[in-house]
Structure 1
């Protein structure tokens, strides 16, 4: 079976989409399912023609451009729907219709959380019958020998790390002001951001802020092979997104036993139970308060980190993820052959 997996354009080398698609490709190769990974800005007609199934990631940013091609070629399409699809593109008048068309055409819809699936059903009741939740797996590379010093962190510093691309939906400057206040009280606090510049307007503002102070550091895009060492070097992993499907960075940090602090948005709420396996925040004051709790109470920090690690290990298995996606591909192919045979 040949599957073409089309990602949104301008993919960073180490982002969640690349991590997700590469893991699926690797996991399904032994099952004689060959996956071709292309971003929207690199995919060519011959890739579509070769594919038995086209699997798109993100309905609006990718699927609306792929839709006329798969219709013309009469190819089945699987959609992995994202947080921005559900929370933004399906609710805004100017993007709703095109996003709905992708949802309606899709043979199967993969979602990352039960909340997302319920939101889809509320918006498009007919989507429920062809949607399924597939928990992400975690397949981190083996940790290399890099240390805190290799990332510019000094002994005695308390590092809050945000692994995220610099783009509006990731809201990277949301942590800046509350951490500035926390740094004023605890001078050892550092704010580090690792991720590619994906929006030049925002990046200009972001770069100016980060360069204006000694307690904030921008690491640029970090190779995925270095991510386990970087996550291990940090004290707390952040997610400041305005909208989230399910964050690979949070999952990976929790898997490695790191405490997390994340925005209270769908996706993050599905992963984190506030005060049980991590912390959620709704505003700058709550962010600062919970950041200080982490700094001041090492027992609480270790307790939430251990609970988060167990939570992720219990629920997010690569083997289950691969088995479920394999079943989805096989069922879609079976329906396709049945349809063409009629």
Structure 2
């Protein structure tokens, strides 16, 4: 089977490229898989030739794809599957239903990461229950044996927040809580890791880094180097206003690191509060959550162990890849 996979990003380390690389790793020895990162490459003859020969198209992030297809006058003349994350579902579809819904209605299958996302498409947008499939994300961190070009600060507790710098990720939401915590824990370190995707937000991060000696910013790193970051951190945070299903939390759980995340449907699809992680709504709750986890070894171990068990039970790459293969063969 020949599949052309359309992803907005492949080179830049962000959620869509992580998904694309993981599926490439799992599927490339089972189908003939051709990738086209449509936000990074210009339309070219090679892509058009592969589209002619393809049996199936697989589209990641429908709103970005629709915009690109309109601009380049691309017509989909083969069966296609759409995989949707958080931003296109929670924002783009709400803002311009007429523009994006036709692509979903004509798809042979739509895959989402959570049951909540499926219910939204079925109840709010009239898609059929049979056409929308829930396939949770899994973990894939390739081994990278190159020499890392970054050093990490020593201290305790070491708090890690992996996220692209843009408004929806709200990476400085934790600042007020961490200022209080830095008075309790004099060796506290807070590291934000991610690409600069919004200049105004990026400037705010750099200003905070200059102001607080315990706050550090590291530009995006290769996927294979993320292992070093998860091994470094004591706790992993997520402060996003909205999420699809954040792979950073799953990756942290796979390293037995406690996760503390802002309450939204994507984060809540992974975290059972008090069992395998903690959810917060306010800066006050975040402050107490972090303090509790790093001050109580029993709580730390429970969240770590249950988080790891969540990965083993629900987010293995074999389950994810088998689910996509089944859809490919059905279509």
TM over 0.5: yes
Aligned residues between the structures: 327
Change (3 A) 1:12 1:260: farther
Q: Is the CA contact 2:69–2:75 (under 8 Å) kept in the aligned structure 1?
A: no
Pairing partner for 1:83 from 78, 82, 86: 86
Q: Is the CA contact 1:151–1:230 (under 8 Å) kept in the aligned structure 2?
A: no
What secondary structure is seen at the aligned counterpart in 2 of 1:42?
A: coil
Partner Cα distance (2:223, 2:103) in 1:
31
Residues 159-194 of structure 1: per-residue CA shift (max 9 Å, x gap) = 110011101121111112211121122222111111
Of the structure 1 ranges 323-332 and 191-200, higher mean CA displacement relative to structure 2 is found in: 323-332
RMSD: 2.3
Unaligned runs of 5+ residues in structure 2 are: none
The answer to whether the aligner puts 1:57 opposite 2:63 as a matched pair is no
Task: Identify the residue that residue 176 of structure 1 maps to in structure 2.
Answer: 175
Task: Identify the residue that residue 241 of structure 1 maps to in structure 2.
Answer: 240
Partner Cα distance (1:159, 1:33) in 2:
43
Residues 60-88 of structure 1: per-residue CA shift (max 9 Å, x gap) = 12234336868735232321112122222
Q: When you count helix as a share of all residues, which structure comes out higher?
A: 1
Change (3 A) 1:152 1:69: closer
Q: State TM-score, norm by structure 2.
A: 0.91
Residues 218-251 of structure 1: per-residue CA shift (max 9 Å, x gap) = 0111221211121011000011111111111100
Residues 243-265 of structure 1: per-residue CA shift (max 9 Å, x gap) = 11111110000011000000100
Task: Identify the residue that residue 139 of structure 1 maps to in structure 2.
Answer: 140
Of the structure 1 ranges 98-107 and 61-70, higher mean CA displacement relative to structure 2 is found in: 61-70
Q: Deviation at 1:110?
A: 0.7
Of the structure 1 ranges 36-45 and 122-131, higher mean CA displacement relative to structure 2 is found in: 36-45
Q: Deviation at 1:43?
A: 4.6
Matches within 5 A, 1:292-331: 292-331=291-330
What secondary structure is seen at the aligned counterpart in 2 of 1:136?
A: coil
Partner Cα distance (2:72, 2:268) in 1:
36
The answer to whether the aligner puts 1:116 opposite 2:120 as a matched pair is no
Matches within 5 A, 1:1-342: 1-8=1-8, 13-46=12-45, 47-51=47-51, 52=54, 53-66=56-69, 72-92=75-95, 95-142=96-143, 151-154=151-154, 156-332=155-331
Partner Cα distance (1:40, 1:127) in 2:
30
What secondary structure is seen at the aligned counterpart in 1 of 2:213?
A: coil
Q: State TM-score, norm by structure 1.
A: 0.88
Partner Cα distance (1:12, 1:294) in 2:
35
Partner Cα distance (1:195, 1:73) in 2:
33
